[in-house]
């Protein structure tokens, strides 16, 4: 019944729009997949490393973050609100005091890449709760759909990640290792540990490929990885692997096996060729970075550029991209605003890139969701540029996040919240993301059936 | 007199008989002791392959430092070891990361690798030396036989990099990752 109410509202909102082709014969609009994939590809953007709803979907800009904490003489100038995410959200930009853009003092907003925002193209969940207030815990939830008090900060996820669910239950033909990618923006904060879990029934053999491109293809990779020889796959690598396997079999009797994500020899060869190409493209300046990366980019825009290259080469079933430049908010609120604006620019470019890819266009669903929010009250640290207060992430406001989803079978221009869905008594949580991805790729039953998700977690297609 | 002699003879005879019986028992009784069954055996002892003591996984930094020393016969700086470790961490497939790092080393001047002719001139020495260099142990006879047969069967006249490939296979082996 709850579902029907949502569908009714969704149907009204979408009437006459291009969402009509997605209405199912049953009359249901927002339908889960069962075993039939809703799209062949999913891109999950773990959006930006802790952002407050106030500056994102709340669009309160300086009015909601700095004005009331500023000296009275400065309050009038800071009484400005507006949307600083023109690719993702509908809303007018702040009318004054623009300092998040490019140029001197950030006074020029970066032009949007998308002519229609992702909000218009998809569904916006405005009342999602983060299941963890910390970065690593938050990322863990987005990938494993659960959270544990025993989860260590320098430990792989305790429960299976969505990568492992897909590879184990989807099988090696549809979900080989090279079809699942995690593109991280750092090797810090335990990010490289997130491509597979410690779970005994899943683990490394079902893990995803991972690159932290700023390292892999940055100055360090250039110094130590770039000159790698590419051996002939049959004539040279064939004998080499044969001898290696003999040595491994000999050692296997002792019981020591190394974690291995199971790229085949052909997949490894493709990845090594890809790396070679990336070094060349990086030198030539032809990586598919967002349009304003050169003028106003940061680590997040660079990471998205390499994520586009990964998608171009491998056409992954699932691509996960981690952005986190906004974490500067602890002590640099101006930098935080700039980083939100750039993360939005990067996501707009990513979606535009996908829609221009012959394989992934119209067959890819994007999900953008922060791993956590930030505090309601600022800390005492002021930034050097504008004397703005910073924000940490430890109170109840930290749990408030949004989720934006667009792609095939996702109703367009829908806002999902309690007001629009009065009969839905549950909660939208970040732990819903893994089952939602599984739902899109046709494996919801397997993931839900494993009984390893957080209580109440489920596909967002079933929670509307 | 005759009776006395007879008495004496009779006494000597009985004494002699007594001595004879006593001697018989003294000699024969120990000989009648039940024979002990002795069992000759070998003490039970665990027999493990020569690589069994390797149960600690090398860190990326340890791996790179040892690999470089094995290939170039001199050490990397601490800073280089740290940075290469970071590069490896930035790649999810660690086996692939090791392949890339090794082949990067192989592309640099200064690697100390026997030539193909040196390898084929004394295959037995090459195999033993490679085991000692990378795995810090001598090969078993089975291992030696495998590599001898494999290399003899696979070295082609045009092939020039077989020693390099042997080295890579050892550097990528699971045993090399442990100490």
ipTM of the complex: 0.90
Could you tell me if A343 and A200 are in contact, meaning their C-beta atoms sit under 8 angstroms apart?
no
State the nearest Cα–Cα gap between B43 and chain A, in angstroms: 23
| Of the candidate ranges A223-237, A326-340, A352-366, B149-163, the one whose mean pLDDT is the lowest | B149-163
Contacting residues of A for B56, CB less than 8 Å apart: none
CA distance A447 to A433: 12
Contact state of B91 with A261 under an 8 Å Cβ cutoff: no
A287 burial class (0-12, 13-18, 19+ CB within 10 angstroms)?
middle
- HSE (side-chain half, CA atoms, 13 Å) at B133: 22
Residue range A284-288: average pLDDT? 98
pLDDT of residue A12: 45
Kindly indicate the confidence band of residue A258, based on its pLDDT and cuts at 50, 70 and 90.
Answer: confident
CA distance A315 to A310: 7
State the nearest Cα–Cα gap between A276 and chain B, in angstroms: 10
Nearest CB to A215 within list B49, B87, B174: B87
Q: Which of A156, A254, A277 to mutate to test the interface with B (most CBs of B within 10 A)?
A: A254
Kindly indicate the confidence band of residue A325, based on its pLDDT and cuts at 50, 70 and 90.
Answer: very high
Tokens representing residue A440 in the block: 């899109």
CA distance A11 to A413: 11
Q: Is A231 on the interface with B (CB under 8 A)?
A: yes
Contact state of A224 with B154 under an 8 Å Cβ cutoff: no
Could you tell me if A347 and A88 are in contact, meaning their C-beta atoms sit under 8 angstroms apart?
yes
CA distance B126 to B115: 10
Helices (runs of H) and strands (runs of E) counted in chain B: 8, 0
Q: What distances in angstroms separate CA B89 from CA A274, A446, B96, one per listed residue? A: 18, 31, 11
Contacting residues of B for A268, CB less than 8 Å apart: 93, 95-96, 99
Measure the CA dihedral A435/A437/A438/A439, to 10°.
Answer: 90
| Of the candidate ranges A270-284, A373-387, B28-42, the one whose mean pLDDT is the lowest | B28-42
Q: pLDDT digit string (tens) for A83-134?
A: 999 999 999 999 999 999 999 999 999 999 999 999 999 999 999 999 988 8
Contacting residues of B for A212, CB less than 8 Å apart: 89-90
Higher pLDDT, A46 or A149: A46
Phi-psi domain of A203 (left: phi exceeds 0; alpha: psi -120 through 50; beta: other): left
pLDDT of residue A251: 87
Contact state of A254 with B52 under an 8 Å Cβ cutoff: yes
Q: Is A244 on the interface with B (CB under 8 A)?
A: yes
Backbone angles phi, psi at B147, to 5 degrees: -65, -35
Residue range A132-146: average pLDDT? 93
Q: pLDDT digit string (tens) for A392-442?
A: 999 999 999 999 999 999 999 999 999 998 888 899 999 999 999 999 999
CA distance A456 to A141: 13
Q: What is the count of residue pairs from A and B with beta carbons less than 8 Å apart?
A: 143
Contact state of A208 with B174 under an 8 Å Cβ cutoff: no
Higher pLDDT, A338 or B12: A338
Backbone angles phi, psi at B170, to 5 degrees: -70, -40
Contact state of B108 with A261 under an 8 Å Cβ cutoff: no
Q: Which of B100, B138, B146 to mutate to test the interface with A (most CBs of A within 10 A)?
A: B100
Q: Which residues of B touch A (CB under 8 A)?
A: 49, 51-52, 54-55, 57, 80, 83-84, 86-87, 89-96, 99-101, 103-104, 106-108, 143, 146-147, 150, 154, 161-162, 165-166, 168-170, 172-175, 177-178
Q: pLDDT digit string (tens) for A16-33?
A: 343 333 334 333 345 555
Instruction: Report CA A119 to chain centroid distance, whole Å.
Output: 16
Nearest CB to A247 within list B89, B101, B170: B170
| Of the candidate ranges A4-13, A194-203, A412-421, the one whose mean pLDDT is the lowest | A4-13
Q: How does DSSP assign B132-158, residue by residue?
A: IIIISSPPPHHHHHHHHHHHHHH--TT
Q: Which of A181, A223, A247 to mutate to test the interface with B (most CBs of B within 10 A)?
A: A247
Q: What is the mean pLDDT of chain A?
A: 91
pLDDT lower than 70: segments of chain B: 1-11, 28-33
In angstroms, the first-to-last Cα distance of chain A is: 10
CA distance A263 to A266: 8
Contact state of B106 with A229 under an 8 Å Cβ cutoff: yes
Q: pLDDT digit string (tens) for A45-82?
A: 999 889 999 999 999 999 999 999 999 999 999 999 99
CA distance A449 to B34: 74
Domains with residue ranges and CATH for chain A: 2-233+265-462 (3.40.720.10)
């Amino acid at each position: 019944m709850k579902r029907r109410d949502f569908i009714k509202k969704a149907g009204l909102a979408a009437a006459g729009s291009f969402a009509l082709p997605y209405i199912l014969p049953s009359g249901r609009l927002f339908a889960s997949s069962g075993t039939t994939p809703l799209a062949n590809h999913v891109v999950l953007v773990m959006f930006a490393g802790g952002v407050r709803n106030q500056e994102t979907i709340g669009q309160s800009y300086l009015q909601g973050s700095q004005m009331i904490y500023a000296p009275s003489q400065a309050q009038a100038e800071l009484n400005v609100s507006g949307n600083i995410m023109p690719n993702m959200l509908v809303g007018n930009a702040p009318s004054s005091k623009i300092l998040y853009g490019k140029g001197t003092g950030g006074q020029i907003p970066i032009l949007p890449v998308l002519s229609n925002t992702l909000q218009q193209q998809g569904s916006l969940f405005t009342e999602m709760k983060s299941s963890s207030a910390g970065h690593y815990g938050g990322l863990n939830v987005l990938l494993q759909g659960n959270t544990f008090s025993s989860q260590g900060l320098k430990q792989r996820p305790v429960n299976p990640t969505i990568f492992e669910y897909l590879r184990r239950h989807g099988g090696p033909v549809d979900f080989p290792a090279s079809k699942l990618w995690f593109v991280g923006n750092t090797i810090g904060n335990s990010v490289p540990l997130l491509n597979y879990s410690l779970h005994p029934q899943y683990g490394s053999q079902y893990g995803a490929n991972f690159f932290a491109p700023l390292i892999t293809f940055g100055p360090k990779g250039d110094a130590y990885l770039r000159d790698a020889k590419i051996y002939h796959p049959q004539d040279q690598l064939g004998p080499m692997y044969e001898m290696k396997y003999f040595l491994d079999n000999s050692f296997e009797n002792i019981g020591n096996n190394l974690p291995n994500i199971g790229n085949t020899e052909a997949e490894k060869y493709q990845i090594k060729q890809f790396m070679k190409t990336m070094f060349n493209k990086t030198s030539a300046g032809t990586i598919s970075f967002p349009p304003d990366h050169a003028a106003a980019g940061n680590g997040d825009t660079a990471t998205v550029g390499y994520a586009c290259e990964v998608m171009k080469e491998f056409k992954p079933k699932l691509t996960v991209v981690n952005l986190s430049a906004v974490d500067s908010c602890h002590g640099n609120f101006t930098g935080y605003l700039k980083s939100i604006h750039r993360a939005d620019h990067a996501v707009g470019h990513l979606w535009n890139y996908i829609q221009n890819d012959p394989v992934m266009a119209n067959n890819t669903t994007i999900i953008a969701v922060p791993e956590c929010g930030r505090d309601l009250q600022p800390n005492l640290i002021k930034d050097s540029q504008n004397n703005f207060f910073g924000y940490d992430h430890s109170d109840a406001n930290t749990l408030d996040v949004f989720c934006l989803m667009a792609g095939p079978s996702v109703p367009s221009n829908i806002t999902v919240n309690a007001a629009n869905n009065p009969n839905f008594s549950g909660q939208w949580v970040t732990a819903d993301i893994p089952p939602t991805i599984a739902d899109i790729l046709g494996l919801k039953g397997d993931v839900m059936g494993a009984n390893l998700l957080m209580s109440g977690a489920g596909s967002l297609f079933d929670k509307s | 007199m005759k009776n006395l002699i007879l008495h004496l003879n009779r006494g000597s005879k009985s004494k002699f008989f007594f001595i004879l019986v006593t001697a018989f028992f003294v000699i024969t009784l120990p000989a009648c002791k039940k024979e002990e069954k002795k069992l000759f055996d070998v003490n039970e002892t665990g027999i493990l392959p020569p690589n069994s003591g390797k149960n600690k996984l090398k860190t990326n930094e340890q791996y790179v430092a040892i690999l470089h020393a094995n290939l170039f016969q001199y050490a990397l700086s601490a800073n280089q070891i740290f940075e290469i470790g970071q590069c490896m961490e930035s790649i999810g497939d660690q086996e692939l990361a090791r392949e890339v790092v090794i082949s990067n080393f192989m592309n640099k001047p200064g690697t100390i690798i026997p030539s193909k002719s040196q390898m084929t001139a004394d295959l037995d020495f090459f195999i033993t030396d490679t085991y000692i260099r990378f795995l810090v142990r001598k090969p078993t006879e089975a291992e030696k036989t495998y590599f001898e047969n494999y290399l003899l069967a696979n070295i082609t006249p045009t092939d020039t990099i077989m020693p390099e490939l042997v080295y890579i296979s050892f550097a990528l082996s699971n045993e090399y990752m442990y100490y």
